[in-house]
Amino acid sequence: MQFTKKGTGAMKFNKIFLMGIALEILAAPATATAGGSDYGYVKNVSMGNGGYFYFTVDSNRILPAPCATSYNGRWAFNASTPAGQVLMASILTAYSSHIKIAVTGGGYCNTWPDSEDVAFIQYENN
């Protein structure tokens, strides 16, 4: 049996544990901030050359991506792909049926430099 000062083993474990957590945080890759919106109605729908689809939602933006600097919180995506066509149909359905949606962004502005790309939308459940 080995005798040690009371608490030294626990203190050593705590220091090692906290150092491990600090290293995990420092080693974690930096990620882009994905923006979002509260539930709101789709507004200002437009389509651009190349199949780009743009729209706004009349609600508050939540943590927009740093690149999302358009004056009206515009969202964008490429509607020329099959996934983009499904997204476009969903947004146009919400627009024409006056259904509120919430938008979650991708954290980047690849479709248009000042408009955050859409990751997904969610219809409000009434």
Determine the pLDDT at residue 54: 96
Determine the pLDDT at residue 17: 44
Determine the pLDDT at residue 28: 39
Q: Can you name the residues that pair with 57 across neighbouring β-strands? A: 42
User: Which residues of the chain fall below pLDDT 50?
Assistant: 13-14, 16-31
DSSP E strand stretches across 29-91? 36-37, 42-47, 52-57, 61-62, 75-78
Determine the pLDDT at residue 18: 43
Determine the pLDDT at residue 13: 46
